[in-house]
A and B are shown apart, each in its own frame.
Chain A
Amino acid sequence: MPESKPKKYGMAIDVRKCVGCMSCSVSCKMENGVSFGVFRSWVNMTEKGDFPAVKRFYQPRLCNHCEKAPCVAVCPVKATYKREDGVVLVDKEKCIGCGYCVVACPYNARYLSDTQKVADKCTLCDHRIDNGGEPACVKNCMGKSRIFGDLNDPNSRISQVIAKNPVQVINPHVGTKPQVYYIGADFNQKF
């Protein structure tokens, strides 16, 4: 067998298929026991235009699992780390809850957990993906808008979809190389 590349996990979100149902937000809370008032996964909405030429836009969000993740760089105790497969995680044993990473994240993806007193955020449902599953937000997505998979495998669905469609990432200019790709999104919207 030819040597395969190491896995590199990411997500593609086809915004044309987002129905604004908030299943990703709530499925994530259900899956990961996220308490009231904070989100690991959420959907921004904005309304644009004057009646009747009005449009509502959705922007499903989660941690971008950036290749150059500033949260990893700023962590004073190396609690935040990037796995070989690209998943950015917080080691809750090591985390001292200083909040540097929360401030450093350009995507507002992190928060300090009230209940656990540590930094918290999307894990791409590492417990599920490490056992062959997909993240809960992908599993339950009502519009089948989300695809999770190995970006290094050219035959994976995510790679094929990214190859066949123009994709964007949020705020590429901050230079963190996000691994969540959007299809059909209108990024000129301010959310």
Chain B
Amino acid sequence: MTSKGNSFSLSRRNFLKVSAAVSAGVGIGLGPSLLNLKKVSAAESEELANNLGNIEVKYTADVMCPSECGMEMWVQDGRIVKIYGNDSCPFNDGTCCAKGASGMQLVYSPERNKYPLIREGERGEGKFRRATWEEAIDYIGSKLTDIKKKYGAESVIMDAGDVTDRDHYYRVFHGYGTPNCVEHGSICDTPRRHGPKLMLGGKRIEPDVMRPLLVRQPDGSLKKDYTYYSKLIIYVGWNPFVATRINYESRGTVGAKVENGCKVIVVDPAHTNTASQADLWVPIRPGTDGDLFAAMLRYILENDDQYNPLRKYIDWSFKEFSVGWDEFEAEFKSWWSKIDPINGKPYFSLDWAADRTGLPSEQIQDIAHEYGLTKPAALVWGMQSPGHHYNGYPCSILGTALNIITGNMDVPGGAIDTELVKSDKGGKAKGSDFTKRKVKRLIDGQEVEAEIEYLHMDWYGDWPAAWDDVVGDYPRRFREGVNINYGPFKGYKYPIKGFMIRTGNPVMTGGNTNDWIDALTAKDGNGNYKVELVVNIDTLYLETGMYADVILPEASYAERMSLSDVYPSHQVLWMRDEVIKPLHESKAPTDIMNSIAKKLNKLGDSDLKGEDFWEKYKTQEDFVNEMLLPAPGRNHAGEPIPYPHLPLGYKLLGTPDSLEAGRVTIDHEKKVVQGEPVTAEWMRKNKGVAVWPMSWNRFKIFDKEEGKYVASKAVAKTSSKMFEFTFSGYNKYNKLIDETGIIPRGLKEIGYERYPNTFYWFETKWNPYTNKEYAKYKDEYPFQLICGRVHHAMTGTQMVPWLSETPVEGTWMPLNDAFKHKIIDPNAKGELEEVEKEFKAGTFCVGTIAINASDAETMGLKTGDLVILENPLGSQEKGKVFVTEGMRPGTIKLGFGTGGRFSPGLGPTSKHKDYTPNHSGLVDPNAHSPIMGMPCYADMIVKVIKD
């Protein structure tokens, strides 16, 4: 067998060495390595720090990526000197990724926003003058006051961005009177969360591989359990080893594999790092994961035989915990006799799926059979599959159904909806109550009075089912304003006049880049910007900041307090602590919130009162203590029973030790067990982490009278509190349609008049292989374009040089041209300082275009060649190809947010903007997934033009 493989050697002599790899066998016959038995405690780590000198150990939460792992930072003379994972935090169990470890190069980056800035040139020119905080807050305060008087507070959007610690910003803008307070989550993979939300009331289904777990033992004690139970994990378009949103899936996946013989299948058009440790890589055609799931479900339903142990796929007991299966099944089966116009085959059959997914029919059958038979198993899908496609909804609905009917939901080693079992937090801190205030608006000459929330631009506008709001639709809102279609304010129109963007970087990641730039720079007939106020609050100076009128420097994640916001397998919470004081003139969110509130109050806005802001939250800790009040806030459920001395089904509140010791009051009427409230002080005394006990089977409970398991109704957050195969979650939106006759834009696009009651199916956009409308493009645009997170190079961390030294998956490779730049680098003493460096070609990682080796050969391309990608809309992006066998032919992959980075705040990375591709430059600005409005990041086709 020949090989065109690439090798990357990172020794000091050859940063990038490309050589032919030779064939070889794979190691077999190895036993468990027992590596998970390692139990280092945080206390040991503190002793080490003490021995090494005058070091203070602080426990905090990361924000180098949204995984927000529990961290241990060492501080010496007020400066962070070391960063490790916190051994007391079971989410990451003491581990820390490359990005987490490189945090000092962000905190001490010379490219940070250091002081407030006010724009001097045109938006986008990047011309600012240094301002004082007073000046900047004055500017913002008077503009906001003016906008509220002229257009109403709803004309301001507060987008609290991509990282955590958002509640402060929600609070002050809810207080100001706008319901339009949103976050980046609305443009990140909403279709993949849709199925779990609709059917379980949850969000993220992940495998049960977080270890250790704190588990109640038969002898009554609580112990850390390191045992893996998983036997099969299928990751579909989900690459946890690189997009490490869920830290434990790194050690947990390989841990389950080595310690428990778990099989791992990775379904992805790209050979990801996760695929590198999988037993099977299934290179599916982009946008057809739902097709695979549909074929799996059909195969399982057609071939399930309860009397044949080799075909006993379905665990029918699921019907005890579910509503609506019969309707779902009937609707699903009704498609079996229909013929798909694109291939003439009956829907969801193996042949149909083989044609559409580009996978052999036998392989699809094998996957369905293995998944049906192997228990416990978890079917897990992610951002890069349903998350980024127009039709990701049917996919995530089918995936959820598969996990339920095979009996894998919440069993040991199965699939956990982490949204439903993580600790509650936040509570009243984000100020949602303020949106219950009533306001008056004039509609067609009539004064209407109703609650502020009814002015929400999405929920009562074009996107009623947008649970997470629709950030990707902003360019349209900025240009056209908001039409309220539903609710008491029906018929009301308002413009968007203020855009507060805190972290996040929508110009590069919120949909089509040019569309955003156009919207942020659009002017009215008088030459004034349509959006009158754009404020960027961020630690870093990213592209969106270049279009701001005012930039406020926010304290970095090491300089502020809040709570982590992540997805563990049970209630675990850890605190972000102020490790060092805010650097430069940056301020923590609590201070920024209070300054804006105080200023608005001073300018006469009585909606913002001292008692709700600066008098209530004198310190960051006051705010965090409020956020901690609802913790853990989940109903007592599952096996082994977490607290045998406390009643099942009751909501638990308070510290783990108070619940354990029974220092509680029990309200039997409200079914609440109240222990001692969790506080920041309690967290600090406990290495920054609160861990409540794990249990499984939380959706069910054994009914002794009936002698069988029945629904616990304690965990699912659907209206029936059971698994729902009929979608009552849509009822309230259908009611709005019934009341008004107005069909939401997205629904109309897919030919529906109401949100469907049960299983539904529609095709994705820009896919010539599954949607007949696009078949005509197949020859001229032979490549499907996909994207994926490059963990080392997310939109806000590319100024970190250490991460530019480590290649990732072919989409982040040392293909730079020679350049010079000042970076932060260790000096002779090992301390970080600014130095001017010369970088030779091939020494610095940049965003690339990953392309299959045979495709490249056909076009005469080799790694490093410059090409132009052009889509049918005429948009182009330029970049260097990286040739690999690890891409499905006819597919091209770009890293998300890695190319075309034009903000000087990106430091050395901004030097490569002209030969690195910006994936968002190729996204269709008019393609928004029809239920929740997310940009369709992975629905596009391109041709490759040699430069």
Binary interface encoding of chain B residues 23-53 relative to chain A, with 1 for a CB under 8 A from any of its CBs, else 0: 1111101111111111010001101100110
Q: Residue A55 at the B interface, CB < 8 A?
A: yes
**B1 to A136, Cβ gap below 8 A?**
no
Binary interface encoding of chain A residues 27-61 relative to chain B, with 1 for a CB under 8 A from any of its CBs, else 0: 10111111111110011111111111011111001
Q: Residue B616 at the A interface, CB < 8 A?
A: no
- Of all chain B residues, which has the CB nearest A15? B27
**A143 to B8, Cβ gap below 8 A?**
no
**B250 to A39, Cβ gap below 8 A?**
no
Q: Residue A142 at the B interface, CB < 8 A?
A: yes
**A133 to B48, Cβ gap below 8 A?**
yes
* B residues less than 8 Å from A39 (CB atoms): 10-12, 805
Q: Residue A171 at the B interface, CB < 8 A?
A: no
Which positions 100-152 of chain A face chain B at CB distance < 8 Å? 108-111, 113, 115-116, 127-128, 131-134, 136, 139-145, 147
A57 vs B24: C-alpha distance in the bound complex, in angstroms?
Answer: 11
Task: Say how far A89's CB is from chain B's closest CB, in angstroms.
Answer: 16
A103 vs B23: C-alpha distance in the bound complex, in angstroms?
Answer: 29
Q: Residue A78 at the B interface, CB < 8 A?
A: no
Q: Residue B795 at the A interface, CB < 8 A?
A: no
A14 vs B32: C-alpha distance in the bound complex, in angstroms?
Answer: 10
* A residues less than 8 Å from B339 (CB atoms): none
**A188 to B24, Cβ gap below 8 A?**
yes
Q: Residue B97 at the A interface, CB < 8 A?
A: yes
Task: Say how far A104's CB is from chain B's closest CB, in angstroms.
Answer: 14
A46 vs B17: C-alpha distance in the bound complex, in angstroms?
Answer: 10
**Given A32-B830, A37-B12, A51-B853: A139 touches B84 (CB 8 Å cut-off):** yes
User: Which one of A17, A57, A109, A164 has the greatest number of beta carbons of chain B within 10 Å?
Assistant: A17
**Given A16-B277, A17-B251: A51 touches B854 (CB 8 Å cut-off):** yes
**Given A35-B826, A37-B843, A51-B854: A21 touches B241 (CB 8 Å cut-off):** yes
Task: Say how far A162's CB is from chain B's closest CB, in angstroms.
Answer: 10
**Given A16-B30, A49-B1, A128-B48: A23 touches B98 (CB 8 Å cut-off):** yes
* A residues less than 8 Å from B792 (CB atoms): 22
**Given A23-B101, A51-B886: A186 touches B9 (CB 8 Å cut-off):** no
A128 vs B84: C-alpha distance in the bound complex, in angstroms?
Answer: 13
* B residues less than 8 Å from A42 (CB atoms): 10-11
Counting residue pairs across A and B whose Cβ atoms lie within 8 Å, the total is 284
**A115 to B827, Cβ gap below 8 A?**
yes
* B residues less than 8 Å from A48 (CB atoms): 3, 5, 21-24
**Given A58-B276, A186-B26: A140 touches B48 (CB 8 Å cut-off):** no
Task: Say how far B251's CB is from chain A's closest CB, in angstroms.
Answer: 5
A29 vs B51: C-alpha distance in the bound complex, in angstroms?
Answer: 21
Q: Of B8, B83, B99, which one neighbours A44 at CB under 8 angstroms?
A: B8
**B25 to A186, Cβ gap below 8 A?**
yes
A127 vs B49: C-alpha distance in the bound complex, in angstroms?
Answer: 11
Q: Residue B242 at the A interface, CB < 8 A?
A: yes
A21 vs B35: C-alpha distance in the bound complex, in angstroms?
Answer: 18
Which positions 793-826 of chain B face chain A at CB distance < 8 Å? 801-803, 805-808, 823, 825-826
Q: Of A47, A56, A164, which one neighbours B31 at CB under 8 angstroms?
A: A164
- Of all chain B residues, which has the CB nearest A21? B97
**B276 to A190, Cβ gap below 8 A?**
no
A16 vs B34: C-alpha distance in the bound complex, in angstroms?
Answer: 12
**A16 to B257, Cβ gap below 8 A?**
yes
Q: Of B19, B35, B51, B94, which one neighbours A139 at CB under 8 angstroms?
A: B94
User: Which one of A25, A133, A136, A139 has the greatest number of beta carbons of chain B within 10 Å?
Assistant: A139
A110 vs B12: C-alpha distance in the bound complex, in angstroms?
Answer: 8
* B residues less than 8 Å from A16 (CB atoms): 27, 30, 33, 254, 257-258, 277
**A26 to B20, Cβ gap below 8 A?**
no
Q: Of A49, A127, A157, which one neighbours B52 at CB under 8 angstroms?
A: A127
A47 vs B38: C-alpha distance in the bound complex, in angstroms?
Answer: 31
A56 vs B5: C-alpha distance in the bound complex, in angstroms?
Answer: 9
**A37 to B101, Cβ gap below 8 A?**
no
Q: Residue A69 at the B interface, CB < 8 A?
A: no
**A190 to B35, Cβ gap below 8 A?**
no
- Of all chain A residues, which has the CB nearest B805? A36
Q: Of A17, A127, A134, which one neighbours B254 at CB under 8 angstroms?
A: A17
Q: Of B24, B84, B96, which one neighbours A189 at CB under 8 angstroms?
A: B24
**A22 to B2, Cβ gap below 8 A?**
no
**A191 to B9, Cβ gap below 8 A?**
yes
**Given A14-B35, A45-B8, A190-B19: A142 touches B250 (CB 8 Å cut-off):** yes
**B277 to A19, Cβ gap below 8 A?**
yes
Q: Of B85, B276, B828, which one neighbours A55 at CB under 8 angstroms?
A: B276
**A164 to B34, Cβ gap below 8 A?**
yes
Task: Say how far B180's CB is from chain A's closest CB, in angstroms.
Answer: 38
Binary interface encoding of chain A residues 165-191 relative to chain B, with 1 for a CB under 8 A from any of its CBs, else 0: 110000000000000000111101111
The 5 closest A-B pairs by CB, nearest first: A33-B830, A188-B24, A111-B12, A33-B826, A42-B10
| Besides A139-B94, A144-B255, 9 new A-B residue pairs in contact (Cβ under 8 A), listed by A number | A16-B257, A25-B806, A29-B102, A47-B21, A49-B23, A127-B52, A136-B101, A147-B33, A190-B20
What are 29 A-to-B residue pairs whose CB atoms are below 8 Å? A16-B30, A19-B250, A23-B101, A25-B10, A26-B101, A26-B803, A30-B83, A33-B830, A37-B12, A42-B11, A46-B6, A47-B5, A47-B271, A47-B884, A50-B2, A51-B886, A54-B271, A56-B271, A58-B276, A136-B82, A139-B40, A140-B94, A140-B97, A142-B251, A144-B38, A165-B30, A165-B31, A184-B30, A188-B25
Chain A interface (Cβ < 8 Å from any Cβ of B): 14, 16-23, 25-27, 29-39, 42-52, 54-58, 61, 108-111, 113, 115-116, 127-128, 131-134, 136, 139-145, 147, 157, 160-161, 164-166, 183-186, 188-191
